[in-house]
Amino acid sequence: MDTPLHWAAFKNNAECVRALLANGALVNALDYNNDTPLSWAAMKGNLESVSVLLDFGAEVRVVNLKGQSPISRLVALLVRGLGTEREDSCLDLLHRATGHFELRKNGSLPWEVARDPQLCQRLTLLCSAPGTLQALSRYAVRRSLGLRFLPQAVQQLPLPACLKEYLLLLT
């Protein structure tokens, strides 16, 4: 069942998303299709809501009953030619959060992507390069911190400021 958090993320009401999460909403709540609020935000390219959800530890490598991930939901928006700079920034943020993503099936990108040569080239580059140890480590550290407000948790770690920024997806 979809939740108020799903709808706030879908409508890109980042302050509502933040308030719901701060008051106990489940960041990885599942709807009828096993989509999380992050998937709902990503399918609309809602950068602000995606950012808040990731700050609260949303799982980026989740797949719904149809085999779609938050990133593939965003790519579906981009394929339809509805992407703007904001959606591009959303894709970059999700890519930083996951360390590596895979959109290919049987070795090739979905046929819809081929209609946009620029998007196809960009996604091919992102999918074909293996995740770096650095990027995969960031994902692992973020996961190990659990479901809590990550900016607060990361600030408590005995790390240099540049590593804290990296963990918080700021660089």
**Span 60-104, pLDDT tens digits:** 989 899 888 898 888 888 887 766 788 889 988 998 898 877 776
Q: Which residues of 66-79 are buried (b: 16+ CB within 10 A; e: fewer)?
A: eebbbbbbbbbbbb
Token code pair at residue 7: 């709808």
Centroid of chain to Cα 21 = 16
Q: Where are the domains of the chain?
A: 4-167
**Span 46-69, pLDDT tens digits:** 999 999 999 999 999 898 998 888
- CATH classification for the domain delimited by 4-167, as one of 1.20.120.330, 3.30.470.20, 3.40.980.10, 1.25.40.20: 1.25.40.20
Count of CB atoms situated within 10 Å of the CB of 111: 9
Spatial CA neighbour of 90 closest among 98, 151, 136: 98
